């Protein structure tokens, strides 16, 4: 992902700009289930998995400040928004983790859903380990499962496209309560 397409802004600066009355749109690109656990008050939730579909909710002439858990999904969202004609796109460096670490206010919900990155690591590890165990105990053909998962992780690392994350984002536990895409 090229940072030429967007600027990275630290949480302190983003919070100061957004609180100053200067026009700006704070957008959280995490999935709805993640937003239900902790969110920034006033941030619009447009999940990365549905960004192209929901991007019309944003004014392309007003600066957009993108937030995710750590910053990588926000960078992907920034590229998409630039391609859709948004001029001023900023990624909050370090994401929600850095926002909270710097003492900026958040709202905690009652749901406890793992971040999408954590879900991907768990499922990939489970499939790779399961493939190895089944390969040793049932049939060597199960080793292909471990190889397939490893190849998928390498593809995700090279292209920054994670098919497993896209699939997990559509799971019911990541949908949130009551359609929080409007937040």
- The residues carrying an active-site annotation are 68
Q: How would you write the chain as a 3-class SS string?
A: CCHHHCEEECHHHHHHHHHCCCCCEEEECCCHHHHCCEECCCCEECCHHHHHHHHHHCCCCCCEEEECCCCHHHHHHHHHHHHCCCCCEEEECCHHHHHHHCCCCCEECCCCCCCHHHHHHHHHHHHHHHHHHHHHHCCHHHHHHHHHHHHHHHHHHHHCCCHHHHHHHCCHHHCCCCCHHHC
């Amino acid at each position: 992902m090229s940072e030429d397409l967007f600027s990275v802004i630290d949480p302190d600066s983003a919070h100061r700009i957004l609180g100053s009355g200067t026009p700006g749109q704070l957008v959280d690109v995490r999935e709805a289930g993640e937003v239900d656990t902790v969110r920034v008050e006033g941030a619009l939730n447009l999940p990365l998995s549905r960004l192209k579909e929901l991007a019309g909710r944003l004014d392309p002439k007003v600066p957009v400040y993108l937030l995710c858990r750590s910053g990588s999904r926000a960078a992907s969202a920034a590229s998409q928004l630039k391609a859709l004609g948004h001029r001023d796109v900023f990624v909050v460096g370090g994401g929600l983790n850095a926002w909270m670490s710097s003492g900026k206010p958040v709202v905690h919900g009652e749901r406890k859903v793992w971040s999408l990155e954590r879900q991907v690591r768990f499922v990939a590890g489970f499939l790779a380990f399961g493939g190895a165990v089944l390969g040793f105990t049932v049939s060597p053909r199960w080793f292909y499962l471990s190889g397939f998962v490893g190849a998928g992780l390498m593809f995700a690392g090279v292209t920054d496209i994670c098919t497993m994350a896209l699939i997990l984002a559509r799971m019911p536990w990541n949908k949130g309560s009551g359609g929080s895409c409007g937040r």
